[in-house]
Structure 1
Amino acid sequence: MTLSEMDDYPIHQVSEVIRHVGTSDRNFYDRYYFNCHGDMRGDDPDPWLIVGLGVYPNLGVVDGFAVVRRGDDHIVVRASKALGDNRNDLSIGPLKVQVLEGLQRLRISLEPGHGDVSFDLVFDAAGPAVLEPRHFQRQLERVTFDTMRFVQSGAWTGALTVDGVDFDVQPDTWRGNRDRSWGVRPVGEAEPPGRRAADSGASSFFWIYAVMRFDEFAIVVVVQELRTGERIMGDAKRVWNDPAREPEWLGRVEHEIEFVSGTREPARATLRFVKPDGTITRVECEPQVANYIGFGTGYGLEQDWRHGMWQGDEKVEALRNKISELDPTMKMFCPVDHYSTFTCTVGGDVFTGDGLFEFAVIGPHDQYGFADYLATAP
């Protein structure tokens, strides 16, 4: 049993050193997610950058990725290494996350020389971090999801280079959100499904995760449904930039998605949040640029690189694809992060903003007429 510098802080939750978590479940994880965007409108939008870093204590692995969408280019740098004793070391080769001020300022960096992207960026929160509902799902007797997550919107400062083009990232025009999640979810090498392979009802996955940034507040929405529309989780909150104001629950989430013909990608979406007293908040979503985060980053589309999979003591890879050449069928089997614009109507007030609309409908879904895994919109 080995100590680290973190063991000198009074933060223990179980009778173990910090490097050992309170469960032996192989699927325990602890992860960071960030996105960063500038001016995404017009014929030549700025890059749409997404970065993730995850720690998998019971697999002995830490890994991360950076993925950029720019025009027709899908650029990935991914890195993995053996997890060491020090949980305060959030670096994997050229990729690094630093907590400069908890719940307020974080730094992400990717050194040059590893593919066609590099950056050194600082995230400053625009408002408080807000906890989402606990995500719990059981398939037969196995707990497949038991996670917590908080989310926060903010602005970016620093430098980003893509294909030799330098972008001066300034907080008046470069925004985004970040989240932290931890708990149990499927990670690492795929496990034999056993009897769960026959439980087809649990394999459908409908998902909306939206983080909308307006001038004085953000709206955070999360929805997971089964094929029938039965909710695994659902929540919508307005989070004020002013930390003295409590987050406001907006009501039950209802959704109407219009799809791009021949696909399962959203052309636009309408979200309604309905309170018991009949108050309705309505949001119109217009997706602008899609980042196909499932390709090359570890979310499960490729069997040789999955989050938490053992890749050796240290491994760094760079990948590049054309969006126009991505397999359209595989696009349907992982959430897609859409930079989107939003119009929010509350009573007689109208607000405009932008941010993240993450969406997936995998498998059958009755409301939208998808009878099987390969069905697409007419």
Structure 2
Amino acid sequence: MLNRLDDYPIHQTPEPIAHVATTDRNAYDRSWFNGFSIDGEWYFGIAMGLYPHRGVLDCAFSVVRKGGLQHCFYASRRAPSERTEMQVGPFRIELPEPMRRTRVVLEDNESGLSCDLTFSTRTAAIEESRQTLWSGAKRTMDATRFDLFGRWSGTIRTPDGEIQVSEDTCLGVKDRSWGARKLGEAETGGAPPAGKVGAFFVWAPLFWDDHVSQAIIYDDVEGRPLIREALTAPLYDAEPGGPVEDGRLTRLATARHRIAYHPGTRLARSAEIDLVGHDDTLRTIQFEPILKFQMKGIGYMHPEWGHGFWKGDLATGHESFDPAALDMLQAANFHTQQVVRVSDGSRQGIGVLEQVVLGPYAPAGFTAMTDGAA
């Protein structure tokens, strides 16, 4: 099975590009974006994922304003054989300049949400370390990921009115990842997992005056580190030129975290993250959340529009909800991003704090799948 990309010298196996190297049913290839105003008044999230062994291409777009509803658009289709076809119904992603600029368009539709947005990078590409997680002898995630920090311009139309998006006031991150990870309909059959089952994840991309920082944290249910990564990279005033990677990325030794939760929830009320250098230098960053976004609005842990679900040859859907009125002890609401103001004692910045805590987690005192903080 051939497609346009086979005309480029990019092959990693003797097979055509459409033939994925792994036979894992959970193979995926995803684009994810966020964007937020620097005053914390609004946030939007975007996702598009291809699941070649499930035969699905899906997408979502969601917007929330402070004190208002979160509006969500979802779409899914049978995956095309042509990998350059990144369109699902009224939604499409264009790459006018790969690794530099991306255009995201949602045409008018019954959800009342639409957009025409352009993302322009302000960092070189940042490759995170390969992320591999295990359940016993089975790999539950094996993925490569890169990030681009940048700015947005364009227009968003919502049922509550229009948002003018300007590079002067809207920052964001583009996240590309691929590999295999748990998604879609649950697998059945076989013995249940032995021991406690849970997930703890924190992701914290931050903008400072002249650089960006990133912390990636996965823990087991006892709080033992599974994946810890911390890094910094230059932030440029204009789109960077030259090669995709500029060699100025600094990988630190590790990251540590301390999170205080809202009582009765698993949502961070405040947080501190330590970026630890190889020479044991310590940079402690304090986080102040100012706006919450529910990640189910772009498919994460959504019971109906979860990533990779088969919805038919083409399906679209939409919903709106009040983030302040949700039951935050329902598992579908555990996965959040919050726009945060940050300080390391001498500098101030802004970014997002993404978190999901599912199941027991000893450092927070969680002992069941969905209990909350004391």
Do they superpose with TM above 0.5? yes
Look up the equivalent residue of 2:49 and give its one-letter code.
G
Look up the equivalent residue of 1:29 and give its one-letter code.
Y
Matched, 1:36 2:35: yes
Q: What secondary structure is seen at the aligned counterpart in 1 of 2:6?
A: helix
More moved, 174-183 vs 31-40: 31-40
Output the CA distance in 2 between the equivalents of 1:102 and 1:144: 30
Output the CA distance in 2 between the equivalents of 1:246 and 1:284: 25
Equivalent in 60, 63, 69 of residue 68 of structure 1: 63
Q: Is the 8 A contact 2:208 2:348 kept in 1?
A: yes
Instruction: State, as a whole percentage, how many aligned pairs show the same letter.
Output: 29
- What residue number does 2:343 align with? 343
- What residue number does 2:274 align with? 272
> Structure 1 residues 119, 332: closer, same or farther in 2, change over 3 A?
closer
Q: Is the 8 A contact 2:266 2:328 kept in 1?
A: no
> Structure 1 residues 332, 256: closer, same or farther in 2, change over 3 A?
farther
Q: CA RMSD in A?
A: 1.7
Look up the equivalent residue of 2:361 and give its one-letter code.
H
- What residue number does 1:208 align with? 202
Matched, 1:159 2:155: yes
Pairwise CA distance, 1:277: 2.8
Equivalent in 341, 346, 351 of residue 355 of structure 1: 351
Matched, 1:300 2:294: no
Equivalent in 254, 261, 274 of residue 263 of structure 2: 261
Pairwise CA distance, 1:40: 3.5
- What residue number does 1:128 align with? 124
Look up the equivalent residue of 1:268 and give its one-letter code.
S
Output the CA distance in 2 between the equivalents of 1:332 and 1:263: 13
Pairwise CA distance, 1:39: 4.2
Q: Is the 8 A contact 2:358 2:369 kept in 1?
A: yes
Pairwise CA distance, 1:306: 2.1
Q: What secondary structure is seen at the aligned counterpart in 2 of 1:294?
A: helix
Look up the equivalent residue of 1:299 and give its one-letter code.
Y
Q: Spell out structure 1 runs of 4+ moving beyond 4 A.
A: 242-245
Output the CA distance in 2 between the equivalents of 1:28 and 1:344: 39
- What residue number does 1:54 align with? 49
> Structure 1 residues 52, 193: closer, same or farther in 2, change over 3 A?
farther
Output the CA distance in 1 between the equivalents of 2:36 and 2:158: 13
Q: What stretches of structure 2 of length at least 5 have no aligned partner?
A: 241-245
More moved, 18-27 vs 271-280: 271-280
Q: What secondary structure is seen at the aligned counterpart in 1 of 2:347?
A: strand
Output the CA distance in 1 between the equivalents of 2:31 and 2:7: 23
Q: Is the 8 A contact 1:78 1:318 kept in 2?
A: yes
Matched, 1:84 2:85: no
Q: Is the 8 A contact 1:49 1:68 kept in 2?
A: yes
Q: What secondary structure is seen at the aligned counterpart in 2 of 1:198?
A: coil
Output the CA distance in 2 between the equivalents of 1:8 and 1:252: 41
Pairwise CA distance, 1:362: 1.5
Matched, 1:145 2:141: yes
More moved, 367-376 vs 63-72: 367-376
Look up the equivalent residue of 2:80 and give its one-letter code.
G
Q: What secondary structure is seen at the aligned counterpart in 2 of 1:79?
A: strand
Write out per-residue CA displacement over residues 248-274 of structure 1, whole angstroms, 9 at most, x where no aligned residue. Answer: 123321111111112111111011122
Look up the equivalent residue of 1:50 and give its one-letter code.
G
Q: Is the 8 A contact 2:252 2:278 kept in 1?
A: no
Matched, 1:219 2:248: no
Output the CA distance in 2 between the equivalents of 1:170 and 1:204: 40
Write out per-residue CA displacement over residues 76-111 of structure 1, whole angstroms, 9 at most, x where no aligned residue. Answer: 100000111210010101111111211111111111
Write out per-residue CA displacement over residues 209-253 of structure 1, whole angstroms, 9 at most, x where no aligned residue. Answer: 010011211001100000222211100101112575621123321
Pairwise CA distance, 1:300: 2.7
Equivalent in 285, 288, 304 of residue 286 of structure 1: 288
Equivalent in 231, 236, 256 of residue 237 of structure 1: 231
- What residue number does 2:243 align with? none
Q: What stretches of structure 1 of length at least 5 have no aligned partner?
A: none
Look up the equivalent residue of 2:336 and give its one-letter code.
V
> Structure 1 residues 331, 48: closer, same or farther in 2, change over 3 A?
farther
Pairwise CA distance, 1:332: 6.8
Q: What secondary structure is seen at the aligned counterpart in 1 of 2:5?
A: helix
Write out per-residue CA displacement over residues 173-211 of structure 1, whole angstroms, 9 at most, x where no aligned residue. Answer: 01111100000001222111632x23233x221111010
- What residue number does 1:117 align with? 113
Q: Is the 8 A contact 1:75 1:319 kept in 2?
A: yes
Output the CA distance in 2 between the equivalents of 1:209 and 1:200: 26
Q: Is the 8 A contact 2:331 2:358 kept in 1?
A: no
Q: Is the 8 A contact 2:266 2:329 kept in 1?
A: no
Look up the equivalent residue of 1:127 and give its one-letter code.
T
Output the CA distance in 2 between the equivalents of 1:102 and 1:370: 43
Look up the equivalent residue of 1:235 and give its one-letter code.
E
Output the CA distance in 2 between the equivalents of 1:356 and 1:331: 21
**How does 1:299-318 map onto structure 2 within 5 Å?**
299-302=300-303, 304-318=304-318
